[in-house]
Structure 1
Amino acid sequence: MSEVINVEEIFASKVFTRATMKERLPKNVYREVIKVMENGGELSLATADVVAKEMKDWAVENGATHYTHWFQPLTGITAEKHDSFISNPDENGKMLMEFSGKELIKGEPDASSFPSGGLRATFEARGYTAWDITSPAFLKEDATGVILCIPTAFCSYKGEALDKKTPLLRSMEAINVQALRIVRLFKNTEATKVAASVGPEQEYFLVDREKYLKRTDLIFTGRTLFGAPAPKGQELEDHYFGTIRERIGAYMKDLNIELWKLGVTAKTQHNEVAPAQHELASIYETANIAVDHNQLVMETMKKVAGRHGLTCLLHEKPFAGVNGSGKHNNWSLCTDNGVNLLDPGDTPNENVQFLLVLACIIKAVDIHADLLRQSASDVGNDHRLGANEAPPAIISVFLGEQLEDVVKQLVETGEAAHVLKGGKLETGVSTLPDFTKDATDRNRTSPFAFTGNKFEFRMVGSADSIGSPNTILNAIVAEAFCEAADILEKADDFDLAVHDLIKEYLTKHQRIIFNGNGYSDEWVKEAERRGLPNIKSMVEAVDTLTTDKAVKLFEKFGIFTKAELESREEILYETYTKTINIEALTMIDMASKQIIPAVIRYTKSLADTVIAVREAGADASASAELLKTVSEKLSAMKSGLKKLEDALAKAGEVSNVKEQAFYYKDVVKTAMDELRAPADEVEMMVDKKIWPIPTYGDLIFEV
């Protein structure tokens, strides 16, 4: 019988929660902490000292020996430097455990070795981490012991943001200020804050670790650079929501327990579309906490997998020919007095506040579709977006039949006199209940879909941080709210002005609304006719960050300076180049040391067979034909290998970071594809005993 888990008892047991603070801190200190958390400001050093002592005592009681400022540099993953709580022994030689308010609030990691895109010279090493008081500290256990982790922002000596968290926090402040202006227009004086709430859905693959360790491409790049399709893939659609196998179920159970202890609201788990693919979804949280927790989800997924002899693959496309992994970013806006600004209610045609918010969001997405596309760009996602398994690279907004009809009425007549209802779902079975249907279906091909009381941004890559997408969403919507509030706050007749503004925004920006099949060729042509951008790759998306439009947006709300944007542009180009370079070098290594030698051995065995059969006086034509075909593929591989080596040599001669990134996309990636094609074809011919690496069938079906 499996162990009984008391979720209520273990939940957030490794987190320095508000409840823990209330229990341990003096009342006046607790009140000051909560005030800063909710309204901003700084703690006094005396208060910080009290908080630090209690946080340290709580951590030590739970086995901690070290603390770290846990931050999210522009590598896309997290970083930490551990310091122990020990201080100089007292006069009797007794060791003291100390942790000061200054150590809690500020850290000083070396900033020279993190990506900075030219913001920092190599010799300019000083950087600072600053405690994000709104995201709770937590305990993380690994081989080094139990560590107190303090979520922090990371910036340079001059204050430039060197991380994902700082711009996100800035964007949250911007949308809070501007959304409150909208709320006030509708006489909601009780709300004092509007926060973006985020609920990410995390897709991932699990493979056997022993097999993983035999694939250098998985080890170095996270994806298979060679591999013929297995006889069976996902075409029977039997894995999706299928029964979870025992080994995977045991993994999911341990994963949930670890996440619940960390205060992560792991809610949903199931098998995904592709074999060996799964999903975990969390409940909505404030954006910066959701970002922190999603990083913890990814870290914990990898850690727990090792305990079960598995490896967790978070790459967007680990296996060619089967669905890759994404991360649906569910985003909404809620006031602190319980109003969801994206809740249309039963009669959305009469809900003026909702219609204004909706119109502003549609405007924001239309104007800044390029930025939204860029926020979901990474090297791995280039294998998914627009490939009929993930949303297309063209940004559009899905509203569903009900809201699309409301918008159509407003655009055409200026009034929305009626609203479509969902009606009854009749099952035709007497023992099954008939129930009211939703007013609209869902559309899995839409990159930005309204799904009842939130927008689901479905383009984000599985390995990527959700920090950037939510920063962009907050920023572009804050701008639209600001422009609307500027007009409406001056209006003599508010009701007339808001009515006219909603109609104006929907009329001007209705081109971004699309409820049809985003995978179809017809949509690509239609989107071009509408003038919507079709940005097909990561490198083509990068320079959207530094357009005049983007710089104006981000500087207006203090989210990025122009220098910070230019630095990120350079980092993205460099990341693309370095990633493809590693993949190309790995292909060369595998082809030279594993695949080509194996094919040569097989060719020799075939040649020996042909000779032996002929000497025996039998018909050797079949063996000879196979030998000829394998030899042709071997020659093609050798030719492809030489072409890839030459392409890499020339890539090093390109000095401009943007030109180099495009060279890798246009030349090196093409050479990689040309090397892979004959290798995958010959895999289907070579004796399995000779093939040097686990196949797709071994990896995705034998878990």
Structure 2
Amino acid sequence: MSELINIAEIFGENVFDDATMQERLPKKVYKDLKKMIEEGKELDLATADVIAHEMKEWAIEKGATHYTHWFQPLTGTTAEKHDSFISAPMESGKVLMSFSGKELIKGEPDASSFPSGGLRATFEARGYTAWDCTSPAFVRKDAAGATLCIPTAFCSYTGEALDQKTPLLRSMEAINEQSLRLIRLFGNNTAKKVTPSVGAEQEYFLVDAKKFHERKDLIYTGRTLFGAMPPKGQELDDHYFGTIRQRIASFMKDVNEELWKMGVTAKTQHNEVAPAQHELAPIYAKANVAVDHNQIIMQTLKRVASEHGMKCLLHEKPFAGVNGSGKHNNWSLTTDEGKNLLDPGRTPHENIQFLLVLTCILKAVDEHAALLRESAADPGNDHRLGANEAPPAIVSVFLGEQLEDVLEQLITTGEATHSLNTGKLQTGVRTLPDLAKDTSDRNRTSPFAFTGNKFEFRMVGSRDSVAASNIVLNTIVADAFAQACDILEKAEDFEKAVHDLIKQYATEHYRIVFNGNGYADEWIQEAARRGLPNIRSMVDAIPALVTEDTISLFEKYHVFTRAELESRAEIKYENYAKAINIEARTMIDMASKQIIPAIIRYTKTLADTVNSVREAGADFSVQAQLLGQISELLAETKKALDVLVKETETAAAMEEGEAQARFYHDTVFPAMEALRAPVDSLEMIVDKEAWPMPSYGDLMFEV
């Protein structure tokens, strides 16, 4: 029987959290650090030296030999450089273990090889990491031993943000400032801070490691580029919330234990819809901490999967024909007094502050729908968004019956006089209790859904950091709050002004509200009639980053400069082109070296069989028909391969940028699909023993 886990005892044991700091730091140093965090002031070096010393001592007690500034460059993953605690050797031959405040506060990784989008020349190598003291340091234990990980921001020598965290922290300052302005209008003069809270649900697939290593496409791209559907997919929905298999349960147990030790509040786990697909969801945290925790979750899923003889697939669409994976970004705003600004209360029609917050968010999402869509743009997400498994590529807002009714009252009559009652859910079984119903049903087809006291942005891809989406959400809502405050702070009659503004925003931006089926073709037509953008691909989404309105918005709140936005657009075009180029070249390699040779060998065997049966005087028509069918598909495969080789070479020779990315999207990707079609047909009729790689059935059902 496995060892019992006491969550309360192990939770956060590898985190240099507030309780640990309070216990280990001198009282004055602890108070100075807390004040610095709350007021956003700079930490003096003397205080930093004391914190660094205690952090080092604590980490060494945990077995740490090295420390690293753990940061999030624009690669989509995290980065780290490890330094040991060893300092100069003493005359005795021993070494001192030291860690200074300067080493804690600032690091200097080589910035030249990280994506910068032209912000830095290749020969300009210097970049800085700066300690984010609002996200606690932690000790990570793995094959390398124990390492003290210090969450940091990453900036260039000239001050531009080269990472996800720096603009996220800037956006959190913006939403805090404007939220405080708004709640002051409603008489709250005691709250000192408003923080965006985030909970990021993580979907993923697990496959057997041995089978994974037999698929070059999974190794190089994270998704299957070829593969015919097995007889059974997800039609029966029997995997969804089904009993978790023992091998997976053992993996989940170890994942949870590792995450709890690092202070990640892993709470919910279950089987997802597709075979071999699962989900893990944490409890809410401050936006920057939640972003860090999601990176820890992804890294832990991958590492623990390997320890269990499996591979964790985080690609948005590892298998065609079954649901892909996303990441639901649950977002809300909370004061330091514990008040959630998105809590409507029992009678939302009377909650004027909530209605103003709500209509400001509708205004923000409507006016910046293309920018919000871009924040979830990823090559893998192109396979997922708009399919019957994920939110459509059209941004809309689901409010539910109660809030929709309140807004309709405001729009049609100018007054909201009542809120729909939730009522009781009667099961019809005497031994079961009647249940209190929520204020609305849920809508899994909505990309931006109100779910009680938060908004759930469902577009984010499973591999991606949730930083980008929260940067956009924080900034666009901050701007909407600022515009409302500019009007209301000057109003002579506040009550009338706020009532009129809520009605105005509700009326002007009601087009973004849609409570129906986002998967339906009718919605695409209706969205076009409403004037809502339908941005199907990453290449078409990227321009939203560099419109004059976007640049003006982000510069106004000091979240991004023009140069930072232009660099990110350039990086995204390059990343798209590189991702499709790798996929295309992987297909070429697999088709040339594995699939076509295997089919040629099989056709020889089949031809020999035809001749043998003919010589025996028996009916060989079936064998001959099959040989002809396979030969025809083989010829189609070779023809499609030649086209893909030509188009990929053309694309690779182009100058990097938007034109190259669009060529990959418009020309290379269709050529990839054209190659896949005959290969997948061949897989359905060729002897399984002759097929050169594990099938979908092998991967999804034999874990």
Is the shorter-chain TM-score for this pair beyond 0.5, marking a shared fold?
yes
How do 1:215-364 and structure 2 match up within 5 A? 215-364=215-364
Give the residue type in structure 2 aligned to 1:324. G
Question: What CA distance in whole angstroms lies between the structure 2 residues aligned with 1:50 and 1:656?
Answer: 48
Question: What CA distance in whole angstroms lies between the structure 1 residues aligned with 2:93 and 2:631?
Answer: 75
Alpha-carbon deviation of 1:356?
0.1
Question: What CA distance in whole angstroms lies between the structure 2 residues aligned with 1:253 and 1:486?
Answer: 51
Per the alignment, residue 549 of structure 2 pairs with 549
SS of residue paired to 1:684: helix
Per the alignment, residue 190 of structure 2 pairs with 190
Question: What CA distance in whole angstroms lies between the structure 1 residues aligned with 2:597 and 2:27?
Answer: 72
Question: What CA distance in whole angstroms lies between the structure 2 residues aligned with 1:10 and 1:25?
Answer: 21
Question: What CA distance in whole angstroms lies between the structure 2 residues aligned with 1:220 and 1:10?
Answer: 37
SS of residue paired to 1:56: helix
Per the alignment, residue 112 of structure 1 pairs with 112
SS of residue paired to 2:288: helix
Superposed CA offset, 1:159-182 (max 9, x none)? 000000000000000000000001
Superposed CA offset, 1:214-238 (max 9, x none)? 0010000000000000100000000
Alpha-carbon deviation of 1:436?
1.6
Alpha-carbon deviation of 1:439?
2.0
Tell whether the 8 Å contact from 2:140 to 2:149 is kept in structure 1 after alignment.
Answer: yes
Per the alignment, residue 40 of structure 1 pairs with 40
Superposed CA offset, 1:444-464 (max 9, x none)? 000000000000000000000
Alpha-carbon deviation of 1:143?
2.2
Question: What CA distance in whole angstroms lies between the structure 2 residues aligned with 1:638 and 1:479?
Answer: 55
SS of residue paired to 1:87: strand
Question: What CA distance in whole angstroms lies between the structure 1 residues aligned with 2:302 and 2:439?
Answer: 40
SS of residue paired to 1:41: coil
Question: What CA distance in whole angstroms lies between the structure 2 residues aligned with 1:244 and 1:127?
Answer: 46
Give the residue type in structure 2 aligned to 1:216. K
Per the alignment, residue 74 of structure 1 pairs with 74
Alpha-carbon deviation of 1:693?
0.1
Superposed CA offset, 1:227-279 (max 9, x none)? 00010000000000000000000000000000000000000000000000000
Q: Does 1:634 align with 2:634?
A: yes
How do 1:110-189 and structure 2 match up within 5 A? 110-189=110-189
Alpha-carbon deviation of 1:656?
5.0
SS of residue paired to 2:591: helix
Give the residue type in structure 1 aligned to 2:93. G
Per the alignment, residue 692 of structure 2 pairs with 692
SS of residue paired to 2:95: coil
Per the alignment, residue 517 of structure 1 pairs with 517
Give the residue type in structure 2 aligned to 1:339. K
How do 1:493-508 and structure 2 match up within 5 A? 493-508=493-508
Alpha-carbon deviation of 1:654?
2.1
SS of residue paired to 1:96: strand
Alpha-carbon deviation of 1:122?
0.3
Alpha-carbon deviation of 1:431?
0.5
Per the alignment, residue 676 of structure 1 pairs with 676
How do 1:503-582 and structure 2 match up within 5 A? 503-582=503-582
Superposed CA offset, 1:458-497 (max 9, x none)? 0000000001000000000000000000100111110000
Tell whether the 8 Å contact from 2:581 to 2:652 is kept in structure 1 after alignment.
Answer: no
Tell whether the 8 Å contact from 2:439 to 2:452 is kept in structure 1 after alignment.
Answer: no
Superposed CA offset, 1:345-399 (max 9, x none)? 0000000000000000000000000000000110000000001110000000000
Question: What CA distance in whole angstroms lies between the structure 2 residues aligned with 1:439 and 1:288?
Answer: 30
Per the alignment, residue 584 of structure 2 pairs with 584
Question: What CA distance in whole angstroms lies between the structure 2 residues aligned with 1:384 and 1:44?
Answer: 48
Per the alignment, residue 93 of structure 2 pairs with 93
Q: What is the TM-score of this pair, normalised by structure 1?
A: 1.00
SS of residue paired to 2:239: coil
Superposed CA offset, 1:90-133 (max 9, x none)? 23222100000000000000000000000000000000000000
Superposed CA offset, 1:194-233 (max 9, x none)? 0000001000000000000000100000000000001000
Superposed CA offset, 1:644-666 (max 9, x none)? 00001111232251000000001
Q: How many residues align?
A: 703
Superposed CA offset, 1:64-98 (max 9, x none)? 11100000000010000000110112232221000
Question: What CA distance in whole angstroms lies between the structure 1 residues aligned with 2:243 and 2:656?
Answer: 51
Tell whether the 8 Å contact from 2:73 to 2:154 is kept in structure 1 after alignment.
Answer: yes
Question: What CA distance in whole angstroms lies between the structure 1 residues aligned with 2:652 and 2:228?
Answer: 31
RMSD after superposition? 0.6
Question: What CA distance in whole angstroms lies between the structure 2 residues aligned with 1:23 and 1:520?
Answer: 57
Question: What CA distance in whole angstroms lies between the structure 1 residues aligned with 2:91 and 2:599?
Answer: 72
Question: What CA distance in whole angstroms lies between the structure 2 residues aligned with 1:675 and 1:216?
Answer: 16
Question: What CA distance in whole angstroms lies between the structure 1 residues aligned with 2:459 and 2:58?
Answer: 40
Question: What CA distance in whole angstroms lies between the structure 1 residues aligned with 2:355 and 2:565?
Answer: 33
SS of residue paired to 2:610: helix
Question: What CA distance in whole angstroms lies between the structure 1 residues aligned with 2:656 and 2:641?
Answer: 26
Question: What CA distance in whole angstroms lies between the structure 1 residues aligned with 2:439 and 2:490?
Answer: 36
How do 1:643-658 and structure 2 match up within 5 A? 643-658=643-658
Give the residue type in structure 2 aligned to 1:227. G
SS of residue paired to 1:566: helix
Per the alignment, residue 390 of structure 1 pairs with 390
- Identical-pair percentage: 71
SS of residue paired to 2:241: coil
Tell whether the 8 Å contact from 2:67 to 2:85 is kept in structure 1 after alignment.
Answer: yes
Alpha-carbon deviation of 1:424?
1.2
Taking a change above 3 Å as real, the CA distance of residues 656 and 309 of structure 1, as seen in their structure-2 partners, is: closer
Give the residue type in structure 1 aligned to 2:692. P
Question: What CA distance in whole angstroms lies between the structure 1 residues aligned with 2:48 and 2:675?
Answer: 59
Superposed CA offset, 1:540-589 (max 9, x none)? 00010000110010000000000000000000000000000000010000
Give the residue type in structure 1 aligned to 2:702. E
Question: What CA distance in whole angstroms lies between the structure 1 residues aligned with 2:8 and 2:39?
Answer: 30
Alpha-carbon deviation of 1:421?
1.2
Per the alignment, residue 425 of structure 1 pairs with 425
Tell whether the 8 Å contact from 2:574 to 2:656 is kept in structure 1 after alignment.
Answer: no
SS of residue paired to 2:689: coil
SS of residue paired to 1:46: helix
SS of residue paired to 1:140: strand
Tell whether the 8 Å contact from 2:542 to 2:569 is kept in structure 1 after alignment.
Answer: yes
Question: What CA distance in whole angstroms lies between the structure 1 residues aligned with 2:340 and 2:393?
Answer: 29
Question: What CA distance in whole angstroms lies between the structure 1 residues aligned with 2:163 and 2:2?
Answer: 42
SS of residue paired to 2:16: coil
Question: What CA distance in whole angstroms lies between the structure 2 residues aligned with 1:73 and 1:292?
Answer: 13
Per the alignment, residue 370 of structure 1 pairs with 370
Question: What CA distance in whole angstroms lies between the structure 2 residues aligned with 1:436 and 1:305?
Answer: 40
Question: What CA distance in whole angstroms lies between the structure 1 residues aligned with 2:143 and 2:702?
Answer: 29
Alpha-carbon deviation of 1:19?
0.6
Per the alignment, residue 701 of structure 1 pairs with 701
